[in-house]
Structure 1
Amino acid sequence: MLKRLKERTNDEKIRNQMNKRINFIFGVIIFAFVAIVLRLGYLQIAQGSHYHQMIRESENVTVNESVPRGRILDRNGRVIVDNASKKAITYTRGKKTDQEEILDTAKKLAKLIDMNTEKITERDKKDFWITLYPDKAQKRMKKELELYKNGDISQEDYDQQLRDKIGEKDLDSLSDKDLKVLAIYREMMQGSTLSPRTIKNDDVTDKEFATVSQQLSDLPGVNTTMDWDRKYPYGDSLRGILGSVSTPEEGLPKELTNYYLSKGYSRNDRVGKGYLEFQYESILRGKKKEMRYTTDKSGGIIDSEVINEGSRGDDLILTIDMELQKKAEEYLEKHINSLRSQGAVNMDSALLVIQDPNNGDILAMAGRQIDTDGTLTDFDIGTFTTQYAVGSSVKGATLLAGYQNNVIKPGEQMVDEPLTFQGGLTKRSYFNKSGSRYIDDTEALMHSSNVFMFKTALKIAGIEYYQGMPLPDDITEAGKKLRKGLNQVGLGVKTGIDLPNEVTGQIEPLNDNPGNYLDLAIGQYDTYTPLQLSQYVSTIANDGDRVQSHIAKEIRKATNDDSIGPVKHKITGKVLNHVNNTPDQVAQIQKGFDKAFNKPEGTGYKSFKNTVVRSAGKTGTAEVFQNGEPRVNSTYVGYAPADDPKLAFSIVYTNQPVPEPWLPGGDLGRDIINYYFGKKDS
C-alpha cells in the first residue's frame, strides 16, 4: 500500500513538471506572437507612411542599351559589312546626380585611363574653369550678379558675360591632368539620365579595362562593356552605297533627329545615316538590350538587372556579287586610264551598272569621279543620283514608241537623207551626212540613224516629212506620246531601286519647242541615270517587262554565331509594267541591237564582235558642253547572251572629246561580258 502511494506521488511530480514546461513554452509563443503583432501594428500604423514614401522614392527604370547591327552579305554569302567588337568604358548618370558627383567620378576615372583631349573646345575649358574655381568666378561677377538678382539681365546673359571674363591666362592654368579630367567630364555631362554614355571605346587597353573593372564599386555609374564598330572586309568597294552608322558620341544625326525620334529612338542611339544602312535600318538595328535600374530617393542607382539580353540585327543579303563588283571596279579604272591616255583628259566621271535583266537584281554598281590630274574618287551612288544626256542609246525606245502609236511597223523602210526645214535648219545622220539611202528599222539601230528617228517623231506628231517643211508650232501631245513610250522602258521615270535619293532625270516641258522634240527622239534633250539605262535595256532583253530594280535580295534571321540564318523575307523585283508592244515589235528592236554589236557596219562592232557569248546592244553619243567647250557623253547599253539574256549593263562616260577619233569605251562592256561568262581578260 505504501509502495503504491509513493509511486503515485512520483508520477504526479513528473506530470506537474511537464505541465509547467508546456505552460512556459506556450507563454513564450504567446509573447512572441504578441510582440510580432505589436511590431506589425507599429510598422503599419506608426511607420506606414514612411515606408510608403520610401517605395515611392525607389523607382524601376528600364533603359535600352545598343546591340551590334545585322551584317550585310552579297548574294553568295560573302560578308560585306560586319561588326568588330571592342572594349568600352561607359557612364550612366543617375536621376539626381549633380555636377559635383560627376566631377568627382571623372577625377577618379582620369587616374585609371588615358583620354584624348582633342575634342575639347574653348567653351568647354571656360565652363570647366568655372566649375573648378567657383569662388574666383563669383568675385569677378559682383556687379553682374546684382543685375541678375534684380532681373536686369537674363541667366544666359550672365553666363556669357562670365565666360567673357575668363582669359587665356586662366585657360593656360589648366594642366594636362585637368584637361584629361575635362575630356572625361564633358562626355559624362552629355549623357542622358539613366542612359549609358560611352566615355572611351577607341584604343581601350587591357590594363585600363581590367583596372576600371576592379574599381567599379568606387566609380558610381561607370561600367566596362563591349562595344562594336562596322568593319568592311572589301575595303572601300561599294562604300558609298552601303552608307554609314552614327558613332556613340554622335547618336542621332542632326539632320535625321526628328525622323528617328518620331519612330521611338533615343537621342544617343546609333543609327544608319545613309543609303543601305538607312534604307534597311529597321532590319539591321536589332533588338536592344534592356536593363532595369533601381534608384533610391536621391536618384542614385542602387541596383540593376538585365531583363532582356537583346539580339543583334537581322542579316541583309544583297543581289550584289562582290567578286563581280570588284572586277567591275578594276575594269572601270583600267578603261578610264586607257581613255585618258587616248585624249579623254577632260572626262570627269564614268559609271557602270550590271544587272540580271530578268528579275531586277543589281549585280554590280560602280562609279568614279575623275579629277583633272587623273585622281579617281568613288562615285557608286552616281549611278542613280545623277542624270545625263545619253544620246543614241535611247533609239530602241523611240522605235517602240513609233510602233505603239501605229506610225511605223516592224521592217518599215525610210530614206536616210539630210533633212532641211524652213529657216535653214538641217538635221542629218552621222553615218550618212550627205547621201540618200533606204534603211529599215533594224538597220537604223545598227547605223544609229538620226534621220529615221526624226521622221518617226514627226509621224507621231501626225506629219510626213518633206523638204523645206516648217516645224510644227505645237508638239505638246506628240511630246506626251513619245515620252510615254520612253517611260514604258524606264527612261524618265524612277526605277524603284530600294535606295534613297534616286533621281528621275531632267524632263523639260515640250509644247512650242519642236527642235527639242526632235532631239528627244535621239537622246539629246531629256536626261537619264545610268540605272535607268540599265532598266531600259533589260526591258528589251527580257521581251518587254519593266522590272523594278533592287539591291536587297533576302532578310535572314540573326544567329548567335557567324552562320547565315533562315530566310525571313525574300525581296523580289516586281513587274512595274509591260510595254504596249507586240512580241514581234520587241523582237525587231532585239534584231537591231544584235546588228549594232555583230555586223561590221554596227556602231558597237569593234568592241563587241568577239565576246565569248554573242551580245547585243546600242551605243550613244550626246553632244554637251563643259565650261563652254563642246564635249560628248559616250554611252553603251547591252546584254548577253543575245538569244537568252542573263546579264545586262549600261556604261556612261561624261565629257569626252568630240569625235573623231571614236574612243573604245565599249571595251569595258566587252570585258565585263567575257569575265562573267568565263573567258579570261582579252
Structure 2
Amino acid sequence: MLKRLKEKSNDEKIRNTMNKRISFVFGVIVFIFAIIVLRLGYLQIAQGSHYKQLIKNSENLTVNEAVPRGRILDRNGKVLVDNASKKAITYSRGRKTSQSEVLDIAEKLSKLIKMDTAKITERDKQDFWILKHPNKAEQLMKNEQSLLDDGSISQDEYDDALHKKIGEKQFDSFSDKDLQVLAIYREMMAGSALDPQMIKNEDVTDEEYAAVSQKLSDLPGVNTTMDWDRKYPYKDTLRGIFGDVSTTQEGIPKELTEQYLSKGYSRNDRVGKSYLEYQYDDILKGKKKEMKYTTDKSGEVIDSQVIHPGSRGDDLVLSIDIDLQKKTEEYLEKQISKLRSEGAKNMDNALVVVQNPNNGDILAMAGKQIDKNGDLTDYDIGNFTSQYAVGSSVKGGTLLAGYQNDAIKVGEEMVDEPLTFSGGLSKRSYFNQDGKVTIDDKEALMHSSNVYMIKTALKIAGSPYTPNMSLPTDISEAGQKLRKGLNQVGLGVKTGIDLPNETSGQIEPLTDNPGNFLDLSIGQYDTYTPLQLSQYVSTIANNGYRIQPHIGLEIRKATNKDTLGPVKEKVKGNVLNKVNNTSDQIKQVQEGFKMAFNEKEGTGYQSFNDTTVPSAGKTGTAEVFQDGEPRVNSTYVGYAPIENPKLAFSIVYTNHPVPEPWLNGGDLGRDIINYYFKEKDKN
C-alpha cells in the first residue's frame, strides 16, 4: 500500500514538472506572436504611409534608347541587312524640369552643335516666341485675359487667339542663333519625362560629339551615345522585299499606330513599316533598356538602377540564296535587253520566282518594271502584289480539274479542231488553225491545245462539244468546279507567303457568261500572281502537295559578336492541301510537262531541251490590251530535274507584241536551271 502511494506521488511530480515546462514553452510562443503582431501593426499603421511612398517613388521604366535591330541574312549566312552605327546626342527630361530649364540647356547646346532648322514649324516658332517673351504675350492678350477671367472663353480658346496674333512680325525678331536654339529645344521637349529624346543623330561631327561629351556635367539630362541606320551590303538587291524602318523622328507611322500600340510599343519607337521589316518586327526590334528610378516626394530622381541593359534584335535568316538571287537578276536584265531588241518595246514588267518545290523555300525573287526608254526599276514585290492574265501555263490545272470531275480520263483522246458555236463564236488552237488532229491529254499539254481544254471545260459543264452548239446559259456550278480544281494547285488563292500585301488575283463572276468560262480553262479570264504560278508548278512537281511558300527560314538568337547564335525557331512551309487527284492523274500532267520541254513539237523545246539536268514545264501566252492596243503576256513555269525536282520557277513578261514574231523568253528559266545545278555540282 505504501509502495503504491509512493509511486503515485512520483508520477504526480513528473506530471507537474511537464506541465510547467509546457506552460513555459507556450508562454514563450505567445510572447513571440505578440511581438510579431505589434511589429506588423507598427509597420502598417505607424510606418505604412512611409513605405507606400517609397513604393510610389520607385518605378520601373522602359527607356527608349536606340537598340540595334537584328540582322537579316541569306540561307548561307551572308549578311543582307545590317546596322551602321552613328554618333548621336540625346536628352532625358526630368519630371520636374521646367521649360525655362530646358531652354537654358538648349542655349548651352547651341554653342556646341549645329542643327538643321528646316523642320521648325510655325507652331514651334509661336510657342518659342511666347516662352521667350511672356510679358509681350500678356500685352497682346489683355482683352482676352479679361474674358478668360470671367469665364467667357475657355483656356483653349485663349491659347488659339494668342497663337493667331503671333506671325511673321514676331518671327522677324528671331536671329540665326535663336533658330538654332529652337531646333534643339523642340527635340528636347518632344517626348515624355525620363524618356531619352534624340536631339541629333545625323551628321554629328567628331568635334561636336567630343565637345558635348566634355560638357555633360553642365548639361543635365544630355548624353552622347550611338544610334544606328540600316545598311545593305548588296545595295538595291531585294531592297523592296526587305522593307523600311521608321526614323527616330517618325516613330510609329500613323497608319500603323493602333496595331503597334496594341502590342505594347511606344509612339516614338522605331518600327518596321513594310514587308520583311514589318512582318518580322517582333523578332528584329530588340529589347529596350529598363531602368528603375527612385524619386523623392517632390518627384526629383534621386537614384536610378539598370534592370535590363537592353539588347539588339534577333537575327532573321532567309531562304534566299543571295548568289542565286544576283545571278537571277543578271539573267533577267539580260533577257529584258534581248526581248526589247527583238521588238518588245512596250514590255513593262518582267518577273521571276525560284523556289524549292518540296518545302516552300523561296530561293530567289526578282522583278523589273520597264519604262518606254528601257530604264529598269526594281519590282521584286510585284511577284506577290500584282496579278496578270497568264495564258496556257495554267492548263495543267485545267486537266487536273477535268480528272477530278470525271469529265476526262487519263490518256483520253480528243480531236483538236476549230470550234464553232451558235452566235458566231469560234475557238481554235494556235498550233492547229484549220485541220483536225487527234491528241491525248499529254499531247494537249505539249502542243498547248486550247481546243482540248475547252472541250474539257464543256464536259465539266455537262455539255460536250458539238459543232455550232449553243453554250450553256448558266455556268455557275461548272465555274465553281473548274475554279476549285485551279485553287487546289494554288491558282486564284493566296499562297500564304510570310510577307504582307499579298493579292489573291482578280477573280471575276461566272454565272451567265459561258464564253468567259471557256477562256478560264485556257488562262484567259482570271488573273494570277507570279508567286501563285510558282506554287502551282511546285504542286505538280512534288506530286500534288500545295505547300506554303516562305522567305523566312530561321530565327537566330542575337549574340554580342558577328557570329550566328543558336536557332530559336524554324520557319517551315506547311502543306496547305493535297490535290484531289490520283497519282496516275498527276503523273499524266507531269508527262505532258516533260514533253512540252523535251519533244521537238513542245512549246518550250527551244529553250529547255538541253538544260544541265532534264527539266519539265509549261509555257503560256495570254491576249491582253495595253492603252487599247492588243498585246500578249508571255509566261513560263517549270521544274528540274524531272525526277525528284529540287527547283521550280515561274516567269512572267507583260505586254509583248502580238505574234508573229513569237518572242522567246524561256532562256531565263534555262539559265537559272543551268547555273543552279552547275553550282550545286561544283559545291
Say yes or no: TM over 0.5: yes
Name the residue aligned to 1:203.
203
Shift of 1:254: 1.0
- Aligned counterparts of 2:241 and 2:372: Cα–Cα separation in 1: 25
1:39-438 correspondence to structure 2 within 5 Å: 55=54, 58-66=57-65, 67-438=67-438
Correspondence for 1:11: none
Hey, what's the Cα distance between the residues in 1 that align with 2:287 and 2:148? 49
Distance 1:53 1:205 in 2: 47
Post-superposition shift, 1:56?
7.6
Identify the range of structure 1 (51-60 vs 481-490) with the bigger mean alpha-carbon deviation.
51-60
Cα distance in 2 for residues equivalent to 1:571 and 1:336: 34
Aligned to 1:556: 556
Which amino acid in 2 is paired with 1:269?
Answer: D
In the alignment, which residue of structure 2 is the partner of 1:618? 618
Task: Specify the code of the residue in structure 2 equivalent to 1:625.
Answer: F
How far 1:660 sits from its partner (Å)?
A: 1.2
Deviations 1:15-62 (A, max 9, x none): xxxxxxxxxxxxxxxxxxxxxxxxxxxxx9xx9999789858844442
Summarize the alignment of residues 544-623 of structure 1 with structure 2, pairs less than 5 Å apart. 544-623=544-623
1:148 Cα offset (Å) = 3.1
Paired residue for 2:668?
668
Which stretch has the larger CA shift, 47-56 or 601-610? 47-56
After alignment, is 559-568 or 280-289 more displaced? 280-289
For each residue in 1:207-251, what CA deviation from the matched residue of structure 2 results, as whole angstroms up to 9, or x when unmatched? Answer: 322222222222121112222221111111111111121111111
- For residues 331 and 146 of structure 1, the distance between their equivalents in structure 2, rounded to whole angstroms, comes to 77
Distance 1:301 1:203, change over 3 A: farther
- Distance in 2 separating the partners of 1:414 and 1:56: 86
SS of alignment partner, residue 246 of structure 2:
coil
- Alignment-derived partner of residue 23 in structure 1: none
1:78 Cα deviation from its structure 2 partner: 0.4
What is residue 539 of structure 1 aligned with on the other side? 539
Q: Is the 8 A contact 2:352 2:367 kept in 1?
A: yes
Cα distance in structure 2, aligned partners of 1:256 and 1:509: 33
Q: Offset of 1:106 from its aligned partner?
A: 0.8
Give runs of aligned pairs for residues 414-563 of structure 1, distance below 5 A. Answer: 414-563=414-563
Partners in 2 of 1:255 and 1:352 — Cα distance? 31
The corresponding residue for 2:36 is none
Q: Distance in 2 between matches of 1:635 and 1:441?
A: 21
1:479 alignment partner AA: G
1:375/1:153 Cα in 2 relative to 1: closer, same or farther (>3 Å)?
farther
TM-superposed deviation, 1:100: 1.2
C-alpha contact 2:60 2:290 (8 A) present in aligned 1: no
Distance 2:469 2:637 in 1: 34
CA distance in 2, matches of 1:589, 1:50: 81
Match for 1:494: what amino acid? K
| TM-score, structure 1 normalization | 0.90
SS at match of 1:653: strand
Whether the 8 Å CA contact 1:319–1:550 is kept in 2: the answer is yes
Distance in 2 between residues matched to 1:356 and 1:49, nearest whole Å: 67
Task: Report if the CA contact (8 A) 1:94-1:300 is conserved.
Answer: yes
Inter-CA distance 298–565: structure 2 relative to 1 (3 Å threshold) = same
- Deviation for aligned residue 1:194: 1.6
- Identity rate of aligned residues, in percent? 72
Distance 1:531-1:51 versus aligned 2 partners, 3 A rule: closer
Counterparts of 2:287 and 2:167, CA distance in 1: 48
TM-score (norm 2): 0.90
CA distance in 1, matches of 2:334, 2:505: 28
Q: Give, in whole Å, the separation in 2 of the partners of 1:593 and 1:182.
A: 69
**Contact between 2:347 and 2:654, CA under 8 Å: does it hold in 1?**
yes
Deviates most, 334-343 or 475-484: 334-343
Separation in structure 1 between the aligned mates of residue 281 and residue 132 of structure 2, nearest angstrom: 43
1:157 and 1:346, CA in 2 relative to 1: closer, same or farther beyond 3 A?
farther
Aligned mates of 1:488, 1:58 — CA distance in 2: 62
Q: 1:403 Cα deviation (Å)?
A: 1.1
**Partners of 2:72 and 2:318 within 8 A in 1:** yes
Distance 2:142 2:330 in 1: 70
The one-letter code sitting in structure 2 at the alignment partner of 1:410 is: V
Whole-Å separation in 2 of the counterparts to 1:408 and 1:51: 87
CA distance in 1: counterparts of 2:483 and 2:170, whole angstroms:
70
What RMSD over aligned residues (CA atoms) do the two structures have, in Å?
2.0
One-letter code aligned to 2:295: T
- In 2: Cα distance, 1:445 partner to 1:397 partner: 11
Distance 1:150 1:662, change over 3 A: farther
| 3-state SS of paired residue (1:677) | helix
Quick one: structure 1 residues 61 and 408, their matched pair in 2 at CA, closer, same or farther if it must change by over 3 Å? closer
CA distance in 2, matches of 1:434, 1:444: 16
User: 2:299, 2:497 → 1: CA distance?
Assistant: 50
Distance in 2 (alpha carbons) for counterparts of 1:140 and 1:49:
51
CA displacement, residues 157-191 of structure 1 (integer Å, 9 cap, x when unaligned): 33333333233242232111111111110111111
Aligned to 1:654: 654
Q: Within 2, Cα distance between the matches of 1:283 and 1:48?
A: 46
CA contact (8 A) 2:272 2:281 kept: yes
Contact kept? 1:238, 1:366, Cα under 8 Å = yes
8 Å CA contact 1:636–1:650 kept in 2: the answer is yes
Report the 3-state secondary structure (helix = DSSP H, G, I; strand = E; otherwise coil) of the residue aligned with 1:486: helix
Instruction: Report the count of equivalent residues.
Output: 635
Once residues 327 and 320 of structure 2 are traced to their aligned partners in structure 1, the CA distance between those partners, rounded to angstroms, is 12
Which string of whole-angstrom CA distances, capped at 9 and with x for unpartnered residues, describes residues 392-431 of structure 1?
0000000011111122122211100010011111111111
Closer, same or farther in 2 for the Cα pair 1:186/1:378, shift >3 Å?
A: same
The farther-off stretch of 327-336 and 496-505 is 327-336
For residues 315-366 of structure 1, the C-alpha deviation after alignment (integer angstroms, 9 at most, x for no partner) is: 1111000111111112222222222222222222111100001110000111
